[in-house]
Amino acid sequence: MMDLKEIDGQVQQLIRQVKDDTIQSMSQPIDVDEKTGRKDLVTTVDKRNEQSLILGLRKILPEAQILGEEGFGDQVTGTDGWTWIVDPIDGTMNFVMQQNHFAIMIALYHDGEGVLGYIFDVMNDDLYHGGPASGVFRNETKLEAPEDVPLRDSLIGISGPLLIENQFNLQDVARVSRGPRMYGSAGIEYVATINGELSGYISYLRPWDFGAGKVLAETLGLVVKSIDGTQLDMLSSTVVLVATQRASQEVIELAN
C-alpha cells in the first residue's frame, strides 16, 4: 500500500480535477431530476462526479470499499478496513438554484476511524483537507483550532426543516445565540464552523454529509456528535451536531 502522504496527494489531484469538470459543466444546461420530490434534486453533474471520484479512488486504494450518495459505489455494511465516503455535490439545491454555495466531499476511514477529509468549496476555490496525522489546511495554509466560543456570543448553523419544526428545541438554541444561519450545504456549514464563523451546525445528515467534515472538525478540537450527545455511527443517518466544546455542551443541554 502507498503511504498516507502519497494517497493524500493523489486524492487532492483527483478532487481538483472533478472541481474543474464541475466548473466546466456549469457553462452548459444541466439536466435536473427529482429524487423523492421537488426539494430533493440530483443532476447529471452529481452522477458524473461520483463516477469520476469512484474510478479515481479505486486506483488509489484498490482494497477500499466506497460509499457514495448516488449509488455508484459499494453496498457498505460494515466499517472494517478502508472505507471512502463520497458526496459528489453537497448542496445540490444550491448548485441548481444559485450556482454557488456547494461542495465536493471525500472522506477516508480505517476501521471506523477518520483518516483523511476533503471539502472543496468550489466557487471560492478553497480545498479544506487533512486529518489527525497532518492537521487541517485550507489550500496550502495550515489552520489553527477555532476559538472555544459560547453559544450566546456566536452565530449557529441550523438546517431549515429542524428550525421550522422546532425539533430538539432548536428555536431556543437560536434565541440564545446571536442568530441562526442556514446555508443549505453541510460541507459549507462545516467549513464555516472550522473557520470560526459559526460556533456550530445542526442538521439531519447522512454519512456522506458528515464523513469528511467529521475528520476535519475533530482534528481541530471541535465536537462532532449526535444531538443527544452520543457518538455518531458512521453508517447511520442522524441529527448531527458539530460545535465548539462550549457551544456543544449548551446545545446538548437545551436540546434534550
Binding residues for Mg(2+): 69, 87, 89-90, 209
Q: Where are the alpha helices (DSSP H) in the chain?
A: 4-25, 44-60, 92-98, 160-164, 170-176, 186-194, 207-219, 245-255
Stretch that binds ligand 2AM, among 6-14, 86-94, 127-135, 166-174 (CB under 6 A): 86-94
**What DSSP state is assigned to residue 229?**
S
- The gap between the terminal CA atoms of the chain, to the nearest Å, is 45
Phi and psi, residue 158, nearest 5°: -135, 135
* Residue in 8, 50, 70, 87 binding ligand 2AM, rule: CB under 6 A: 87
- Residues in 169-188 that interact with ligand 2AM by CB under 6 A: 184-186
121 binds ligand 2AM, rule: CB under 6 A:
no
C-beta of 148 vs 197, nearer to ligand 2AM: 197
Cell of 161: 426543516
Cβ(95)–Cβ(191) under 8 Å? no
Stretch that binds Ca ion, among 59-67, 74-82, 86-94, 173-181 (CB under 5 A): 86-94
- Residues in 132-171 that interact with ligand 2AM by CB under 6 A: 159
Measured CA angle at 81 (ends 107, 212), to 5 deg: 10
Stretch that binds Ca ion, among 124-132, 139-147, 202-210, 230-238 (CB under 5 A): 202-210
- Residues in 16-45 that interact with ligand 2AM by CB under 6 A: 40
Q: Least distance to ligand 2AM from the beta carbon of 163, Å?
A: 11
Computed on alpha carbons and rounded to an integer, the radius of gyration of the chain in Å comes to: 17
Residues that bind ligand 2AM (CB under 6 A): 40, 69, 87, 90-92, 159, 184-186, 203-206, 209
